[in-house]
Structures are given as C-alpha cells and as structure tokens.
C-alpha cells in the first residue's frame, strides 16, 4: 500500500456514516451564506464552491480546527478563461476564441497562469475545461467549447488540463482541472440548454468521448456530469457512461462531481425519482462522488444507508477518491495553496493573454483592404461592440455575474477595439472617429445617422458587431442567430458611403452574418478576446501582426441551416452542391478557414502505407513571413457504419519566411483511422482510405492521397 492509500484508509476507518456523507457534499457558499457555510465546515463537508479569499480561508480554518477529523476542504470556482471574478485577474480569450489559435501551448499557458491566480485566492479547483462540442451553435454555451471537432477539442483540452494541474498537484501553484460536462451537454435537442440529448451510446463513444479520453490520459483529476439525458436516463443517474465507460474503460481515477443541483433535478426537473432520497441513491450508485449544491443529499443518503437502500461501501469508494485527491494536493499539510504572491495580472501572465488574443484573430475575407495603410488621414471605428468591454470579455467574468459586486469591477489594462485602433492611429498621425451607432440588442440606443456622420470622410471604416453577455451562457440559447438590433441597418448605411469597410465580429460564437461579412471589403473574427482582444484586432488591422487564427467552428449562412459542422455523416440527397432548395448546404465560413497577409501553396502529399507516415510540402507564396496551420483529415472509403466525409486527424503550425518551403511529416498508427462499430467497439476496418492535407476543411483547400490498411 502506498503512502496516500494508507493515509486514506486510516482516515476512512475513523469516519462515521455522517462524515462520509458530508465529505461528498459540495456547499454553495454564496447561496447558503456564511453562518450556514461554517456549520457545514464543522460537519465535515468535503467541498465548497463560489467563495474566494478570506471567506474561503475562514471556512478552511473552521473545517480543520473545528470539525471532528479536521479534514481540509476543497474549494471550487468557475475560472473559465482566467480567474474571472477577481478584479485583478488576467482575463484570457474564451475557450472558443483561444481555440482559433490551434496551438496547445497557448492553452497550456492559459491554464497554468489561471491556476496560479486561483491558488493565490486560496482555492484549489477550477470547473474547466468544457469538452462539449459546439455543433448546434444556437446553444448559449458555444463560447465555452473548443469548437465543433472532437480531435481539436481533445488536443486543446488536454493542454489546458496539463497547464492547470502541472506535474505535481502538491506544488502550491497548480490546481485541479474538471473535464465537463460529461457528456454531450451541447447536443441537446434544439440546442435547448440542459434538455434531452439525441444520442446513442455508439454516437457517444464515436463523437463525444474522444476529448474526455484525452483528458483522462492527461491525468484530469475531476469530471463533472451533464444536465442532459441519454435515451431517457439522466447522465447524472447513468452508471453506463459514468461507471462502465468513464471508470471501467477509460480508467479515470479522479472523482466525479455532479453539475449544479443535479440530484434535486432528478426529482424536480427530470422526474425520474420521487424523493431526494431516491435521487441521492441513484446518483451515488451511478458513480457520482461529490454532489454539487444539493445539500439535502447529506441527510438523504444517511437515511438510505440506514434503511438498507444503499450500501455504505458506495460511499466509501466516493470518499476514498475525494480524500486521495486531497492527499495528492498535500492539503492536510498545506490547506491553502500559496500560489505566487503578486501573480494576479502580473506581467508574464498579461503577456500570455496578449499572445493568446493575437493568435485568436481569424481573418476570413480581405479584398485588398488590409492591412490598413499608413498614409490614411482618418479611420472611423463604429459599432456597438467597438467599445464594450463586457461584450469583449464574454461569459464567466465579473460582467456576466448575476449579482456583481461593484467594488470588484475589473481593473485595467484591458483594451477595447476602439482604444486599440485609437492608439494605432495616434502612433501614425491618423485621425480616429468613434461612434456607437446602435445597441445590441434593440431598444436601448440607436443613432445610425450619427454614426454615418462620424464615418464621413474616413479612409477606412472599422465596424464592430456581435452579441452581448445577455445573449450568452446558460439558458441563453438563441433561435435566431442573425445580428440582433439595428446592426444590419447600421452596416447598410455605412456601406452606402462607399468607403472601404472591414467588419469585425466580437461575439460569443458564429452568428449568421450574411452580407455584413460578405459585402464588406474585409471580415475579421475576434470572438471574445479577453483583456487584449481589442488591441489584437487593431494590431491585425494595421498589420502589426499577421493574422494566423483558423476557425475551430463553422459559420452558418442562416439560422435554419444549423447545425452546419463540417464532419457530418453523408446522406444521399446531400451530394456536393445540393442542399436546401432555398440555400446552399455549405457554411458561410468553414471549419479550419482563416487567412493572413501571406499565402500558402501545398503540393507533394504522400502517404506511406507501411509506416503510415504522411508528408506534404507547404510554401509561403506571399511577400511576408506567416504562420500556416497544416490540417490533415481522413475518410474511411467504405465502412460498416456511416462515417464522415472528413475527420480531422492531425495539424501542425509552421512559420515560413516568404518563398520558404517546408515538408511537414505526420506519423499515424492504425488506431487513428478507427471507428466505433454497431457493437460499440472501436475498431479499424481494413480497406481503402483517403488522406487529405491542406489549408482548411474545404474540398478546394485539400490535397488527397489514397491508401489501404
């Protein structure tokens, strides 16, 4: 028996049934209030969420000094793209924005910096990353995903987990990550948040499990269940996905936490249990180790064990997992992680946030307008999201908090697009006009004429459109993805001036932009870039950086076209070129798309059947150095079940000087070309395959080579 196991077993042997039940409870501090929280600490509650700084320290002190066994508590927080509730924290781009970098190292650094800042606040655990896929973009939480592709989400998810957790959970600077929401939360019918999921176990394994598998391989310490249900069973009550698949097959050895009040929801929302006691038994049996928010679990589960409705060893297993993590974090000796004093918003972290924002910028259209030229006299920055730091930050920060404490509003150095462009103009002696034009959504403010007047005489218009936090997040799904309010009218009025116009999207996800993107001279997607999102936009516009982001998610032409993700299954009335009778099938902008101020040409794709090594040549044909993301997809030509026409299987970023050519090599093994068959087994079926490599998921951007396995 190793040291940790011995310690855990010794503690467990001393614990009463009540203490075990308490260890499984996660108490919502902000909801129950201080007095009640301290009572729970004395009872031996295992964890608290949504409490920071000195309040957390007080809870910890009480737990360690006044509970019978003095077991330290774990504090969890939603530090989703930075430690968003601390006014001094570094705010990174959202997961979706950062995913545009296609760069695991960007995510790793973001995770590590966030961990340090969270630890400095006395906390141990972030409920991040989201490994759900953003396939139906009407969903309000698409901003929290790494986009639509399981391979990319897995690579980036594993990277941020490594960043949060480091090599040693006990080193004082790293925190627990939480892969969520297990599983298929984004796949709810109609994108209606937290509703039933149209999913079979085969599909679960094929599409949604791979990112979680990579998370487990990266050593993720916790997994959070999803609100939805599969074939009539709520995920929180589903032993197949939680016990058989997650623990049994993936070998997950951390602990499972429910999502918010999931156990109560089994009674009140999903109606699969009559009482909280019944729901508690279901949840414990299914494999949940920690129960978020449903504090009634404590009494209920004690009663259930006493009545013989649940075996105590189910609790023992859960408590073992929680205590093991506490030991691995060294919480008994050092209950408060010390982080690194002064690290909140420190220079090194800000530099990473800046770099992440820069690498998140995706240029999707450029009819010769960009980069903006130095000889201009006047630039007009127009639009509702040009100077709206709330919209730029996006969800899970102070600005999206339901009851923000005005004393804790984020402090500088954040930079909006307006401020970034003003600074760039000032440095070049260019005049810069600003006008908001209208609000998002409708009603609050509208002055299109004023905006047109401000833009008159400009050499270039930068129009910043998008969505706002009121349209983003839980229970904020949108049936209509068109730009809301008067944003389209604002575009039309400005376009009529005949001045070169670039549209910039500051939004939580792809919106159905239509002409606002296509009839502009240039279109640039920034999503929610965090602190330096606005600065990065300005740098891209003026050519201070060469945009290198690629879309991790497809843009629809129209809400009615959703879902429009690239890796759909083939259908025989869906041949290329066909689609709706009133709209093409293709997206407005495709997965993997993105350009810069260089151009890249590909040739010489080969695939060696024996070694399964592929190589392709890429050349920078542009006039300046640039970074290309070489993307590799495959197709299983004939398979026992339907498989997508394209699946991302590898990617690599390369930076090339003008004229420089590089051969990029990828090594695969047969398992990379696998599918999940009808018996739910992951297998590689022999036969013919196609390997595709190139600039984006669009057919016209890909070279193709056939091979056999």
Q: Does residue 151 contact residue 103 with C-beta atoms inside 8 Å?
A: no
Residues in region 661-690 near ligand BGC by CB under 6 A: none
Nearest to 424 by CA among 362, 384, 381: 381
250 vs 210: CA distance, rounded Å:
10
Q: In whole angstroms, how far apart are CA 497 and each of 144, 296, 504?
A: 37, 63, 18
In the bound state with ligand BGC, the residue whose beta carbon lies nearer, of 238 and 259, is 259
Shortest distance in whole angstroms from residue 246 CB to ligand BGC: 17
Which residues, at least 6 apart from 364, have a Cβ–Cβ distance to it below 8 Å?
517, 523, 524, 525, 551, 589, 593, 594, 595
- The encoded tokens of residue 148 equal 């639509």
Q: In whole angstroms, how far apart are CA 424 and each of 389, 421, 538?
A: 18, 5, 7
Which residues, at least 6 apart from 299, have a Cβ–Cβ distance to it below 8 Å?
21
In the bound state with ligand BGC, the residue whose beta carbon lies nearer, of 71 and 85, is 85
Binds ligand BGC (CB under 6 A): choice among 260, 309, 450, 674: 260
Shortest distance in whole angstroms from residue 131 CB to ligand BGC: 11
Shortest distance in whole angstroms from residue 182 CB to ligand BGC: 11
Q: Does 32 bind ligand BGC (CB under 6 A)?
A: no
Shortest distance in whole angstroms from residue 475 CB to ligand BGC: 9
In the bound state with ligand BGC, the residue whose beta carbon lies nearer, of 20 and 180, is 180
Task: Give burial (CB, 10 Å; 0-12/13-18/19+) of 351.
Answer: middle
In the bound state with ligand BGC, the residue whose beta carbon lies nearer, of 80 and 425, is 80
Shortest distance in whole angstroms from residue 364 CB to ligand BGC: 30
In the bound state with ligand BGC, the residue whose beta carbon lies nearer, of 127 and 491, is 127
Shortest distance in whole angstroms from residue 154 CB to ligand BGC: 19
The per-residue DSSP string of 277-305 comes to HHHHHHHHHHT--BEES-TTHHHHHHHHH
Which residues, at least 6 apart from 15, have a Cβ–Cβ distance to it below 8 Å?
23, 69, 319
In the bound state with ligand BGC, the residue whose beta carbon lies nearer, of 402 and 577, is 402
Binds ligand BGC (CB under 6 A): choice among 121, 136, 259, 277: 259
318 vs 297: CA distance, rounded Å:
14
Binds ligand BGC (CB under 6 A): choice among 124, 138, 180, 646: 180
Question: Which of 259, 289, 387, 521 is labelled catalytic?
Answer: 259
178 vs 180: CA distance, rounded Å:
6
501 vs 491: CA distance, rounded Å:
9
Contacts of 268-274 spanning 24+ positions with Cβ under 8 A: 270/229, 270/234, 272/233, 272/234, 272/237, 273/237
Interaction pattern, residues 466-505, with ligand BGC; x per rule: CB under 6 A:
--------x-------------------------------
- CA torsion angle for 443, 449, 450, 452 (degrees, to 10)? 120
Using CB under 6 A, count the residues that bind ligand BGC. Answer: 6
Binds ligand BGC (CB under 6 A): choice among 75, 92, 102, 127: 127
In the bound state with ligand BGC, the residue whose beta carbon lies nearer, of 173 and 259, is 259
In the bound state with ligand BGC, the residue whose beta carbon lies nearer, of 260 and 707, is 260
The per-residue DSSP string of 460-523 comes to EEEEEEE--GGGSSTT---S--BPPTTHHHHHHHHHTTT--EEEEEESSS--B-THHHHTSSEE
In the bound state with ligand BGC, the residue whose beta carbon lies nearer, of 289 and 446, is 289
Q: Does 81 bind ligand BGC (CB under 6 A)?
A: no
Cα 624 to its chain centre, rounded Å, is: 32
522 vs 685: CA distance, rounded Å:
44
Shortest distance in whole angstroms from residue 178 CB to ligand BGC: 7
In the bound state with ligand BGC, the residue whose beta carbon lies nearer, of 118 and 464, is 118
Judge whether 459 counts as a catalytic residue. Answer: no
Q: Does residue 707 contact residue 619 with C-beta atoms inside 8 Å?
A: no
Which residues, at least 6 apart from 560, have a Cβ–Cβ distance to it below 8 Å?
580, 583
- Cα first-last separation, the chain: 45
DSSP state of 696: S
Q: Does 102 bind ligand BGC (CB under 6 A)?
A: no
462 vs 501: CA distance, rounded Å:
6
106 vs 109: CA distance, rounded Å:
5
260 vs 218: CA distance, rounded Å:
25
Which residues, at least 6 apart from 207, have a Cβ–Cβ distance to it below 8 Å?
133, 150
- The encoded tokens of residue 675 equal 């599918």
Cβ-closest position to ligand BGC: 127
| DSSP H/E element including 17 | helix 17-23
Residues in region 59-78 near ligand BGC by CB under 6 A: 78
Task: Please report where in the chains the tokens 């010489």 appear, as a residue.
Answer: 604
Q: In whole angstroms, how far apart are CA 241 and each of 200, 230, 556?
A: 11, 9, 32
Extended beta strands in 437-550, E state: 460-466, 501-506, 522-525
In the bound state with ligand BGC, the residue whose beta carbon lies nearer, of 262 and 598, is 262
Which residues, at least 6 apart from 101, have a Cβ–Cβ distance to it below 8 Å?
107, 356, 359, 360, 548, 549
Extended beta strands in 40-91, E state: 47-49, 74-77
Q: Does residue 504 contact residue 462 with C-beta atoms inside 8 Å?
A: yes
String of b and e for 292-314 (b: at least 16 CB within 10 Å)?
bbbbbbbebbbbbbeeeebeeeb
Beta bridge partners of 708: 688
Shortest distance in whole angstroms from residue 127 CB to ligand BGC: 3
Interaction pattern, residues 128-167, with ligand BGC; x per rule: CB under 6 A:
----------------------------------------
Shortest distance in whole angstroms from residue 291 CB to ligand BGC: 13
In the bound state with ligand BGC, the residue whose beta carbon lies nearer, of 437 and 473, is 473
Shortest distance in whole angstroms from residue 30 CB to ligand BGC: 10
Q: Which residues bind ligand BGC (CB under 6 A)?
A: 78, 127, 180, 259-260, 474
The residues that are catalytic are 259
């Amino acid at each position: 028996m190793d040291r940790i196991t011995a310690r855990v077993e010794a503690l467990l042997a001393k614990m009463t049934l009540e203490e075990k039940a308490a260890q499984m409870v996660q108490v919502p501090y902000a909801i129950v209030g201080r007095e009640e929280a301290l009572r729970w600490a004395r009872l031996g509650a295992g964890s608290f969420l949504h409490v920071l700084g000195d309040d957390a320290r007080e809870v910890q002190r009480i737990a360690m000094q006044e509970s019978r066994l003095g077991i330290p508590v774990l504090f969890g927080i939603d530090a989703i793209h930075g430690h968003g509730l601390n006014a001094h924290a570094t705010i990174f781009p959202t997961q979706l924005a950062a995913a545009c970098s296609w760069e695991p190292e960007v995510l790793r650094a973001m995770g590590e910096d966030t961990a340090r800042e969270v630890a400095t606040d006395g906390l141990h655990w972030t409920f991040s990353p989201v490994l759900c896929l953003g396939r139906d973009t009407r969903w309000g939480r698409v901003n929290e995903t790494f986009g639509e592709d399981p391979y990319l989400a897995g690579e980036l998810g594993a990277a941020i987990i490594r960043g949060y957790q480091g090599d040693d959970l006990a080193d004082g600077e790293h925190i627990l990550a939480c892969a969520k929401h297990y599983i298929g939360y984004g796949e709810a019918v109609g994108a209606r948040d937290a509703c039933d999921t149209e999913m079979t176990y085969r599909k679960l394994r094929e599409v949604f499990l791979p990112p979680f598998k990579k998370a487990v391989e990266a050593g993720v310490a916790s997994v959070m269940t999803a609100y939805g249900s599969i074939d009539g069973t709520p995920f929180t009550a589903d032993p197949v996905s939680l016990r058989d698949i997650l623990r049994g097959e993936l070998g997950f050895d951390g602990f499972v936490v429910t999502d918010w009040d999931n156990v109560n929801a089994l009674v009140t929302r999903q109606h699969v249990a009559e009482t909280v006691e019944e729901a508690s038994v279901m949840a414990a049996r299914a494999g949940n180790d920690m129960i978020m928010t449903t504090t009634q679990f404590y009494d209920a589960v004690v009663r259930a064990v006493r009545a013989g409705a649940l075996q105590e060893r189910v609790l023992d297993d859960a408590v073992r997992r929680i205590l093991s993590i506490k030991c691995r974090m060294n919480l008994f000796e050092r209950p408060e992680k010390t982080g690194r004093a002064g690290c909140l918003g420190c220079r090194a972290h800000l530099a990473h946030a800046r770099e992440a924002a820069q690498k998140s910028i995706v240029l999707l259209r450029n009819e010769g307008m960009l980069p903006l030229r130095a000889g201009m006299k006047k630039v007009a920055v127009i639009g509702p999201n040009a100077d709206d730091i709330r919209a730029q930050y996006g969800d899970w920060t102070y600005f999206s908090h339901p009851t923000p404490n005005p004393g804790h509003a984020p402090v500088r150095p954040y930079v909006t697009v307006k401020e970034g462009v003003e600074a760039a103009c000032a440095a070049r002696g260019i005049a810069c006009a600003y006008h908001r034009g209208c609000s998002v959504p409708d009603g609050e403010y509208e002055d299109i004429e004023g905006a047109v007047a401000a833009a008159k005489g400009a050499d270039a218009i930068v129009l910043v459109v998008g969505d706002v936090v009121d349209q983003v997040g839980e229970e904020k799904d949108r049936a209509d993805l068109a730009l809301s309010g008067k944003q389209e009218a604002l575009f039309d009025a400005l376009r009529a001036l005949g001045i070169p116009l670039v549209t910039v999207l500051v939004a939580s996800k792809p919106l159905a932009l239509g002409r606002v993107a296509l009839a502009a001279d240039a279109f640039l997607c920034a999503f929610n870039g965090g602190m330096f999102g606005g600065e990065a936009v300005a740098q891209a516009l003026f050519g201070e950086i060469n945009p290198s982001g690629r879309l991790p998610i497809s843009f629809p032409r129209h809400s009615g076209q959703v879902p429009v993700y690239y890796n759909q299954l083939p259908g025989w009335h869906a041949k290329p070129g066909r689609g709706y009778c009133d709209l093409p099938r293709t997206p407005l902008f495709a997965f993997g798309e993105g350009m810069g101020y260089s151009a890249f040409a590909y040739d010489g794709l080969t695939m060696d059947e024996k070694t399964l090594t592929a190589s392709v040549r890429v050349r920078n044909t542009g006039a300046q150095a640039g970074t290309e993301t070489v993307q590799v997809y495959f197709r299983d030509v004939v398979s026992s079940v339907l498989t997508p026409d394209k699946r991302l299987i590898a990617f690599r970023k390369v930076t090339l000087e003008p004229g420089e050519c590089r051969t990029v090599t990828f090594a695969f093994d047969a398992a990379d070309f696998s599918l999940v068959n009808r018996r739910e087994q992951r297998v590689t079926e022999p036969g013919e395959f196609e390997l595709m490599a190139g600039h984006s998921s669009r057919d016209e951007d890909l070279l193709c080579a056939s091979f056999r396995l």
